[in-house]
C-alpha cells in the first residue's frame, strides 16, 4: 500500500512532507508541551555557530499587516551547548522526524569550521543533514553578504562540502534579482538540495517615535505576505533544475499554502512564522494535506511539481467564471 504522506527530499526519507523551519522551533524541544515531535517529517534547528551569540539589540520582532519582521541576529547557544544540552533530549523525542542542523559562520572559512565540527560530532548528535544558512538579512557578516555574493556563496558552500559528507541543503536568499543562479551554484558545489526562501528585507516605522521599530532598523519579513514570492522562486528553480531537491519555505500557515509549494515543485515544506501565531500550525498543515490527499485518492509523491505538468491530467479544471 502506498503511504500517501511519505516522501523524499534528496537522500532524506521523510514520513511526511512537513518540517518545522529554522528559527521558529528552537532546537527541536520548544513545542514538546503542545504535541509530539515525532508527528513531523522533520525539523530544522535554530542556526548554530561554533560560539554562542547574543544576537541584535531589541526590539527584534515587529508584527506587520501580513506577517512579521525579525532582526534576531542569529542568537544561538553555540555548537557545544547544543551537543551537550539540546541534542540528547531532542533525540529522545523525535522518533522518525529528521533533524537538520542549520549552521552559519562569519566568513566562508567559519562555515567550513562549523561543518567540520558537525562532521566530527555527527554520531553523538544524530543529525540527518545540514542546512547552510547563507541568507540571514540581519547580520553584517555571514548572512546575505555571503548569500547574495556569487563568489562568497560558492566559497562557503564548497567549504561545507569539503568538511562533511552529511546531506547538505543550502538556504537561499530572495534578496537577489534571480535565485536560480544561486540554486545552480549550490548544486555545482555539491549540495544535495536547496531550501527557499529565507526572509525578505523589510522595515517598519514607528510614526509616533519617528524611527524604525526594530533595533537594527531593517529586518527580515516572513509570514503570509511572502507566500507568492516563495512559490514563485520554488517554481522557477524547479523549472530550471528539475532534479534538484527543494524544501519550500515562506508564508506557509495553511495546508493550502503547503499544497501550492508542493505543486510548484517543492519536495517537502517548512512551516515557520505560523508556529508563533498557532503552536499547532505544523500539525494543522499536515492534517490538511492528509485529508486532501485522502479525498482525492492521491499522494504527496504524485502532487510534487504538478503545476509544471498542466495538460497531463485527464480532467482539466472547468472554469465557470
C-alpha cell at 198: 529565507
CB of 13 to ligand SIN, least distance (A): 26
- If one asks whether residue 73 binds ligand SIN (CB under 6 A), the answer comes out as yes
Query: What SS3 class is residue 224?
Result: helix
Q: Looking at 89-97, 119-127, 129-137, 181-189, which segment touches ligand SIN (CB under 6 A)?
A: 129-137
CB nearer ligand SIN, residue 39 or residue 47:
47
Near ligand SIN in 132-171, by CB under 6 A: 133, 135-138
Q: Does 198 bind ligand SIN (CB under 6 A)?
A: yes
CA-CA-CA-CA torsion sign (291, 295, 301, 302): negative
**Residue 7 or 270 having the CB closest to ligand SIN:** 270
CA geometry: angle 152, 153, 156, nearest 5 deg: 80
The residues assigned a catalytic role are 136
Q: Phi first, then psi: what are they for 112, rounded to 5°?
A: -65, -40
Q: Which of 5, 44, 68, 72 binds ligand SIN (CB under 6 A)?
A: 72
Q: Which of 12, 14, 19, 23 binds ligand SIN (CB under 6 A)?
A: 23
Q: Count CB atoms within 10 A of the CB of residue 203.
A: 16
Query: Max Cα separation, the chain?
Result: 61
In angstroms, the CA 252 to CA 21 distance is: 10
- Asked if 148 contacts 37 with a C-beta cutoff of 8 angstroms, the reply is no
Interaction of residue 275 with ligand SIN, rule CB under 6 A: no
Residues that bind ligand SIN (CB under 6 A): 23, 47, 70, 72-74, 133, 135-138, 198-199, 220
Amino acid at each position: 500500500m502506498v503511504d500517501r504522506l511519505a516522501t523524499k527530499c534528496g537522500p532524506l526519507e521523510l514520513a511526511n512532507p512537513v518540517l518545522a523551519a529554522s528559527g521558529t522551533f528552537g532546537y527541536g524541544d520548544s513545542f514538546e508541551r503542545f504535541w509530539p515531535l515525532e508527528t513531523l517529517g522533520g525539523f530544522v534547528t535554530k542556526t548554530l555557530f561554533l560560539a554562542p551569540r547574543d544576537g541584535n539589540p531589541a526590539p527584534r520582532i515587529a508584527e506587520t499587516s501580513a506577517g512579521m519582521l525579525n532582526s534576531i541576529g542569529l542568537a544561538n547557544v553555540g555548537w557545544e551547548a547544543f551537543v551537550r544540552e539540546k541534542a540528547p533530549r531532542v533525540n529522545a523525542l523525535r522518533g522518525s522526524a529528521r533533524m537538520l542542523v542549520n549552521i552559519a559562520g562569519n566568513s566562508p572559512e567559519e562555515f567550513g569550521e562549523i561543518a567540520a565540527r558537525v562532521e566530527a560530532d555527527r554520531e553523538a548528535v544524530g543529525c540527518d543533514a545540514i542546512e547552510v544558512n547563507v541568507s540571514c538579512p540581519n547580520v553584517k557578516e555571514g548572512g546575505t553578504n555571503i548569500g547574495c555574493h556569487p563568489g562568497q556563496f560558492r566559497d562557503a558552500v564548497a567549504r561545507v562540502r569539503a568538511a562533511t559528507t552529511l546531506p547538505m541543503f543550502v538556504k537561499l536568499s530572495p534578496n537577489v534579482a534571480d535565485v536560480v543562479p544561486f540554486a545552480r551554484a549550490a548544486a555545482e558545489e555539491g549540495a544535495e538540495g536547496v531550501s527557499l526562501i529565507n526572509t525578505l528585507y523589510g522595515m517598519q516605522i514607528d510614526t509616533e517615535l519617528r524611527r524604525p521599530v526594530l533595533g537594527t532598523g531593517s529586518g527580515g519579513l516572513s509570514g503570509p505576505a511572502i507566500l507568492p514570492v516563495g512559490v514563485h522562486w520554488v517554481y522557477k528553480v524547479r523549472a530550471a533544475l528539475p532534479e534538484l531537491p527543494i524544501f519550500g519555505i515562506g508564508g506557509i500557515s495553511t495546508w493550502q499554502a503547503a499544497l501550492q509549494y508542493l505543486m510548484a515543485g517543492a519536495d517537502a515544506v517548512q512551516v515557520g512564522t505560523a508556529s508563533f501565531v498557532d503552536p499547532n500550525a505544523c500539525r494543522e498543515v499536515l492534517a490538511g494535506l492528509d485529508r486532501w490527499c485522502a479525498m482525492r485518492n492521491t499522494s504527496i509523491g504524485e502532487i510534487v511539481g504538478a503545476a509544471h505538468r498542466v495538460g497531463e491530467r485527464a480532467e482539466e479544471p472547468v472554469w465557470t467564471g
